[in-house]
Amino acid sequence: MVLAEKQMSLLDAEGVILAFDAAPPKRVVSLVPSMTESLFDLEAGDRLVGVTDACTPPEAEQLRLQRVGGTKKPNLEAVRILRPDLVIANQEENSEDSVRALDEAGLTVWLTFPKSTRDALDLLWTIIKVFKLGDQAPRVETLARTLDWTDKATTARLSIPTFVPIWQGEKEGVGPWLMTFNYQTYANDVLAKVGGMNVFAGRDRHYPLEADLGKTEPEDPGERDTRYPRVTIDEVIEAQPDVILLPDEPFVFDESHKSQIEEWLADTPAVKAGRVHLIDGSLLTWHGTRLAKAVAELPSYLRQ
């Protein structure tokens, strides 16, 4: 049974609470690093029996937990052998084939897909309900108030035009390109909440790649994801970002990439003012309790 995030947020209506009413899930496999972190932060990490290779549980828990492979291609047999009450997955991080296979194996899969900070907060509240963590409610309430205060403070001043590439490549005859995200993503909402204005918020991804780079007419995308456009160097220069943030995931931007991007984008205000920063990518991409760290740390990069 695959439980979509929206279904889980309507616990009573969907009957999900009834499934765990007598006792919350006791054996949980998390295929989502940010959810693994959130369960430990909310003092429910003892319910976990399996995590992915990308998860970062506390050092003291490393030997206890079974590693079940990567997020995209977890070892499904290893998950099944753990006999979990609940498997936590994510629509972006885990493959559709893996989620379907776990469902067909008779496991209960909670498929999360937060696209905003509000969705992330709702997810935390759902964890509290399902795992019966009422004593952790004040922590989530504090995060909600902090986010609300940050949002109001941001609204009161001008947002800073910001560019955040998340991947890079090169196309023969076109040159280098950089992938970013638009307004329909969690990362965009986090950036907006802390005072950044995504310069490509309104840019959709076009198919094929040549169309995205302006070399041919785009196809009908159908059901393909249009939230992650690939843009040319000229497009970024034209957007004139004041700040450029280079995360270390999903693409690992390092000092060598920073130097290259500063060379490519020398005609942007960000490079001229020395406001190109390497950052912890999880601040933009990990939902859950990591949101508190994002709100605390990201504004400093925008003000530097």
Query: Mind giving me the DSSP string for 13-47?
Result: HHTHHHHTSSS--SSEEE--HHHHHHHHHTT-GGG
- 100: tokens are 């379907």
Are residues 151 and 34 in contact, defined by beta-carbon separation less than 8 angstroms?
Answer: no
pLDDT digits (tens, 9 = 90+) for 204-222: 999 999 999 999 999 999 9
* pLDDT in the model for residue 3: 57
- 135: tokens are 């004593």
Name the CATH superfamily, with its identifier, for domain 157-303: Nitrogenase molybdenum iron protein domain (3.40.50.1980)
Confidence grade of residue 174 (pLDDT, cut at 50, 70, 90): confident
Nearest-CA neighbor of 300 among 252, 243, 249? 243
Confidence grade of residue 151 (pLDDT, cut at 50, 70, 90): confident
Q: What is the average pLDDT across 52-72? A: 95
- Please state which architecture CATH assigns to domain 2-136: 3-Layer(aba) Sandwich (3.40)
Q: Quick one: CA dihedral 253, 176, 262, 150, positive or negative?
A: negative
Asked if omega into 218 is within 30° of 0 (cis), the reply is no
Residue 163: CB atoms within 10 A of its CB come to 26
What secondary structure, in 3-state letters, does 66-122 show? EECECCCCECHHHHHHCCCCEEEEECCCCCHHHHHHHHHCCCCEEEECCCCHHHHHH
pLDDT at 196 exceeding the cut of 70: yes
pLDDT at 131 exceeding the cut of 60: yes
On whether the pTM is more than 0.85, the answer is yes
- Nearest-angstrom CA–CA distance, 207 and 223: 12
Nearest-CA neighbor of 302 among 200, 188, 192, 143? 192
Confidence grade of residue 8 (pLDDT, cut at 50, 70, 90): very low
pLDDT at 17 exceeding the cut of 50: no
b/e per residue 25-64 (b: at least 16 CB within 10 A): beebbbbbbbbbbbbbbbebbebbbbbbebbebeeeeeee
Q: Which residues contact 180 (CB under 8 A, 6 or more apart)?
A: 163, 164, 165, 166, 198, 200, 203, 228, 229, 230, 231
- Nearest-angstrom CA–CA distance, 245 and 186: 16
- Nearest-angstrom CA–CA distance, 51 and 83: 13
Q: Taking CA 121 as the corner, what is the angle to CA 223 and CA 21, rounded to the nearest 5 degrees?
A: 95
Confidence grade of residue 72 (pLDDT, cut at 50, 70, 90): very high
pLDDT digits (tens, 9 = 90+) for 286-300: 999 999 999 999 999
Asked whether this chain's domains 2-136 and 157-303 adopt the same fold, the reply is yes
Q: Which residues contact 190 (CB under 8 A, 6 or more apart)?
A: 117, 283, 284, 291, 294, 298
Q: pLDDT > 70: what percent of the chain? A: 91
- Give the CB-side neighbour count of residue 179, counting CA atoms within 13 A: 18
pLDDT at 125 exceeding the cut of 60: yes
How do the domains of the chain map onto residue ranges?
2-136, 157-303
Q: What is the average pLDDT across 75-83? A: 96
Secondary structure of residue 296 in the 3-state scheme? helix
pLDDT digits (tens, 9 = 90+) for 231-240: 999 999 999 9
